[in-house]
Amino acid sequence: MLPSCSTPQAPSRERVTRDREFRRRTRFWNSQTDVTFTERSEQRGSEPKKIACTETASVRAEVTCQDAAMQIAMLVNGVGQSHDVEARTLLVQYLRESCTLTGTKVGCDTSSCGACTVLVDGESVKSCTMFAAQADGADVTTVEGLADGPNWHAIQTAFHEQHGLKCGYCTAGMMMAAVGFLAENPNPTDRDVRLGLEGNLCRCTGYQNIVASVLAAADSMKLGSMKLGSMEADSMETGQ
């Protein structure tokens, strides 16, 4: 529950601690996304709904109060979603609770484990470090959007075939992080994969099979694009 605007209260110790953590989690993302966020608002011809990351808990409570509810819209797995959210709603909460896409997991809620990783405009992001409002207008992909109908994404096939999971709790985040990583580094070495996925934790597998899965997915994606390239070359030659 949001605090009442009309009855200001001194923040409790617990609240101050929570707010300190809140600022720590959001500072990096805010510094990265202010420009994009403002630009999106300008494109829509509206005032930027910037989320303030204020210096004291009581001030933030006021700001949060003023911005208590806002309407946001985004594409999630190619489907338009629009909901009223509280300013403080995290993207992971929004995806799980408003969009009912529960494939994205919450492992730590402190930006440590990567279980909540999704793609925002093609880049992998820990969705517990970002407000839902910051994804307003964005194109978000969750694990539910990886497969193309009945056809699994190469990373899903690789995790299945290489036994890249045990309990599966980290797997959605691990696969989304891997997809973002492979988009930037399609020819990774074993070490590249370990460095690229160091923000994602797994407490079951020992990582060996996860690394093998990502390398297998890289190979299969390369093979897929080579096949696509030769099909395009054939059709250009035959004029079809």
Residue ranges in contact with ligand FES by CB under 6 A: 106-109, 111-116, 126, 128, 165-171, 202-205
User: Least distance (Å) from ligand FES to the CB of residue 42?
Assistant: 30
User: Least distance (Å) from ligand FES to the CB of residue 2?
Assistant: 23
User: Least distance (Å) from ligand FES to the CB of residue 166?
Assistant: 4
- Residue closer to ligand FES, measured from CB, 61 or 92: 92
- Residue closer to ligand FES, measured from CB, 81 or 209: 209
HEC string of the chain equals CCCCCCCCCCCCHHHHHHHHHHHHHHHHHHHHHHHHHHHHHHHCCCCCCCCCCCCCHHHHHHHHHHCCEEEEEEEECCEEEEEEEECCCEHHHHHHHHCCCCCCCCCCCCCCCCCCEEEECCEEEECCCCEHHHHCCCEEECHHHCCECCECCHHHHHHHHCCCCCCCCCHHHHHHHHHHHHHHCCCCCHHHHHHHCCCCCCCCCCCHHHHHHHHHHHHHHHHHHHHHHHHHHHHHHHCC
- Residue closer to ligand FES, measured from CB, 61 or 142: 142
User: Least distance (Å) from ligand FES to the CB of residue 12?
Assistant: 24
- Residue closer to ligand FES, measured from CB, 38 or 152: 152
